[in-house]
Amino acid sequence: MKECLRVDADLIQIKPVTYSQTPEIHKWREWMRKSHERFGRERCGKVFIVFSVTEKGGAKRIFNPEVIGEIQREMERLSDTP
């Protein structure tokens, strides 16, 4: 079994939904993919990106709520890892 540095929690990145409109997004995606793969190799955990949107009145909500279940499953997996 591969030895990894332990982490107390997964890495969660919160980004505004407008992030996908960033100029040259393909460069950012490639950089993030490599960075997330490295984190997975070194820390044996996953990186999750939570996209936020601001509603009228300033309230924020999660644009991709399905990520919450993915984060919970990964946290359970990591807590079961010795």
- Confirm whether 68 is domain-assigned: yes
CA–CA gap between residue 36 and residue 41 (Å, rounded): 9
40: left (phi over 0), alpha (psi -120 to 50) or beta: alpha
- Confirm whether 70 is domain-assigned: yes
Higher pLDDT, 54 or 6: 54
- Confirm whether 28 is domain-assigned: yes
Summarised one tens digit per residue, pLDDT across range 7-64 is: 544 567 767 766 555 666 677 778 888 888 888 888 777 888 888 888 889 898 888 8
Look up the domain containing 22 and give its range.
11-80
- Confirm whether 4 is domain-assigned: no
Summarised one tens digit per residue, pLDDT across range 60-80 is: 888 889 989 998 888 888 777
**Tally of domains within the chain:** 1
What is the structure's pLDDT at 69? 92
- Confirm whether 27 is domain-assigned: yes
- Confirm whether 71 is domain-assigned: yes
